[in-house]
Structure formats: C-alpha cells, structure tokens
Amino acid sequence: MSLATTASLLERDGHILRVIDCPAVGLDRARLGALAKIFQPDFAFWTTATPTLNDDLNLAGFIKKNVPDAVTGVFGTHVTALPEVALANPSIDAVVRREPEQTIREICLHGPGDWEGIDGLSFRDWETGGPRHNRDRGLLRPEDIPSPAWRSLDISPYRLPLKGRPFLIVAPIRGCPYICNFCTAPLYYGKKLRKRPVTMVVDEIEENMGMFKVRDFFIWADTFTADKGYVKAFSREIVTRGLKISWTCNSRVDTVDREMLSLMKEAGLWMISFGLESGNNEVLEQTGKKITVEQSKGAVSIAHELGIKTSGHFVLGLPGETERSMNDTLKLALDLPLDIAQFYTAAPFPGTRLYDLALKKGWLQTDSTLAQDRAAMDLPGLPGQRVDAFRRYAYRRFYERPKAAWNIISMVEPRAVGHLLRTLGAFLGWARD
C-alpha cells in the first residue's frame, strides 16, 4: 500500500518507476536481481517488518550487488523506532521514518549528498560514516494523501481469501487516537485522525471499479469507525451514487451502533473485523485499549443480528495474562456469534509501550523473533511456550465445532476452494502439533 501511494507522488514528478510486490507475484531474489540489472534504478525503496527484519535489511546488499550505484532506502514501523538498526547495514543508505510518501519524494528530487534538509530521514553521514537523524516530518494533510497507483503494479494476485474474487485496498483515514500499549499505529501515522474528503475516497473507488473491474474492497484504516459521522457520510455517498460494491473493514467495539452498522450494510459492508483482544476485563484495562468484554458482546451481537459477518481478533499473552484469563478469552470467542476468529500472541514491537515494558521487566526471550504467531515474552507465571500451546488449543476448540466449520464453508465460493483446502491442510497440521 505504501509503495503504491508513494508511486503516485513520484509519477507526478515525472519519474520512471517500477513497483513490484514480490511475494504476491512469486518473484524470487534471482528474478528480482535480473529485473534490477535491466531497469538500473537510481533509487530502490522497500518496506520492512519486524518479523522479517533481517531478511528485509539484507536485501540491500543484494540490490547493491546488482545495481552498485543505486541509492537504497527502507521504511516501516521498526526502522522508524530504531533507525540505527537499519543503518548498521552498510548497504542501506536511507531510513525513512513514519509515513514515507513525501520523504521519499524529496530524496528522489534532491539526489544523494543533499539530504540535510529532508525531514523524516535518517542516513549515514557521507563524511564521518556515522548516523544522522533529521527532524521528524509533519504528516500529510488529509486532502494531500495520495490514492495508490495500482496501475504501476500487478494486482492480479490480490484475491479475497474465501471468495477468490479480485479486491483492492482503499484507505480513507490515517492516524489513531487510542493508546493500546501493543500497537504501532500511532508511531507510523500519528495519533490524530486524518480523514480524507469523502468525495475523494468514493471517487477513488469508482475509478478502481472502472479501471480494474473490481467490485470488492478492503476499507483499511487503523480504526475506520472512530468517527461515526465520517463513516455515515462515506456510506451515504456510496448509496447515493448507486455503487454496487462489497467491502469489509476493521473496527473497535465501542465505536459502532445499530444505526451506523445498518447504513454500512446498505452501502455494501458484508464483514466487519473487531479487535476484541481479551475476554478478561483486567487484562483489557492493562492494555490501555479502554474497552470491556460487555462492549465486545454488544457490538458483535448487533452486527450478527443485522446479517453482517463478524471476525474477532484476540491477543494471548498480554501483560496480566494468566491461565484463567486465557480461558476467559477462549470462552468469549466460543460464546460470541463470530464467523471467524484469529488468535495472536502478544508481540512487543519496538516503538510501543509494551516493548518498553517488556525490556524493563525482563520479559523478552533471548534471541526471540518478534511476531504475532509465536510468543516472545515469558510473563510472571506464564512462559511463552504455554501461550503458544494455548493458542493452538484455542484454534482447535473454535474451528473444530460444526457450527464454525459451516460458517466458513458458507462463505466459500467455488474459485477459492482449492486455496482453502491447501490452507486448511497446513492449518490442521499446525494446530494439532
């Protein structure tokens, strides 16, 4: 997404560019290297993520091997929080902190050696070799946030998991005002909601429908429903224009009501994802999320009653977690009318309050990989190994119920059956391990 929105600004400046989603199109390093040699870019930028950080950073050496004169730059939440980690790799020239579009644009306009005045940039001093950190960049105004240049990359692999139909992402809002201790969202996009003009967002949807023949969209935001008035205006605009689309979004349980969900469904919403996190109010309080189990029950029930599919996301191993509270979370997942449940392990990503707390308390496991599919913390009385085992148990309990299996089957369309069966086989092997 960030590469596609950055491409929009670079295209405006007249740059010739390529955007490649290597995992999506199945492009391995050998073929990427061959493309780089042919294209010979002046600049190469890519995103990084905490779970894959080492591989992401080591890509720089591979790029330099194939295009020695290319300026290399990385961005993402991890390197925003810890830019020195990226600059320790001698093949990385630039670290873009926070949202990347305007910073990358200025790097490409100025060229190497003239970066002192570019906000939001960390780089290696050309003379001393030491790291330099320019001041933080102000965030883009809502009306200046670019639409992604999907035309610049191959979007054919983007298919809805259960439907097999093509889909695209639309991001109406950036920023999150909430203070969940495990979340990196405010670090990247800031704490203030930046709401793109509704007409601009719906124009983007219409353009995507015409250009790519897409009718399915993921309305992406850290919390799309944070501003009810905005969501209602967005939904009314879709209805007024008569757009026949189908879409999903994520949400908080304390930001929805029956009236708003009804209007969202009329505008094409078919599934909503709630960050439920825990079934224990004491654990929820420690996260700083400021929701309750009772609110989770109410929001999911309303959506279910309206015929909207529901997905619940739970995090195991948060501070204050115990065997009892993990069972509270599983009980909540089983009691709610959820169609899909996802169980993650708490990941203390750099830049979060959870990361600082884990360091202070000595919870981090030695040489642990910070990811949401394997516990990285040993909490008092609750080792990470036990959290991992309970996560597998929770998945088995949820999906081995006939009702849960039927919910999944009822959503599957013929074109997605093959993919589902492959995924199901791998999942069952892992869950029963």
Q: Where in the chain is the domain with CATH 3.40.50.280?
A: 2-133
Across residues 249-278, what is the average pLDDT?
98
How does pLDDT run across 325-344, given as a tens digit for each residue?
999 999 999 999 999 999 99
Q: What would the 3-class secondary structure string for 276-336 be? A: EECCCHHHHHHHCCCCCHHHHHHHHHHHHHCCCEEEEEEEECCCCCCHHHHHHHHHHHHHC
How does pLDDT run across 41-71, given as a tens digit for each residue?
999 999 999 999 999 999 999 999 999 999 9
164 in Cβ contact with 415 (< 8 Å): yes
With H, G, I as helix, E, B as strand and everything else as coil, classify residue 247. strand
What are 203's two structure tokens? 């124009």
**pLDDT of 274 strictly over 90:** yes
194 in Cβ contact with 174 (< 8 Å): yes
- Can you count the helices (H) and strands (E) in the chain? 18, 13
Residues β-bridged to residue 121: 96
Least confident of 81-95, 115-129, 168-182, 349-363: 115-129
pLDDT of residue 57: 97
126: confidence class by pLDDT, cuts 50, 70, 90: confident
**pLDDT of 381 strictly over 70:** yes
Report how far apart, in Å, the C-alpha atoms of 331 and of each of 247, 279, 327, 361 are.
29, 7, 6, 29
Q: Are strands 121-124 and 173-174 parallel, antiparallel or unpaired?
A: unpaired
Residue with the two structure tokens 């950055």: 6
414: confidence class by pLDDT, cuts 50, 70, 90: confident
* Percentage of residues in the chain having pLDDT higher than 90: 88
Across residues 85-100, what is the average pLDDT?
97
What are 192's two structure tokens? 């203030």
**pLDDT of 425 strictly over 70:** no
pLDDT of residue 428: 66
Across residues 245-260, what is the average pLDDT?
98
Interatomic CA distance for residues 136 and 301, integer angstroms: 43
Which option is the CATH number for 158-431: 2.60.120.620, 3.40.710.10, 3.80.30.20, 3.30.300.10? 3.80.30.20
Q: Does domain 2-133 have CATH number 3.40.50.280?
A: yes
Q: Where in the chain is the domain with CATH 3.80.30.20?
A: 158-431
**pLDDT of 420 strictly over 90:** no
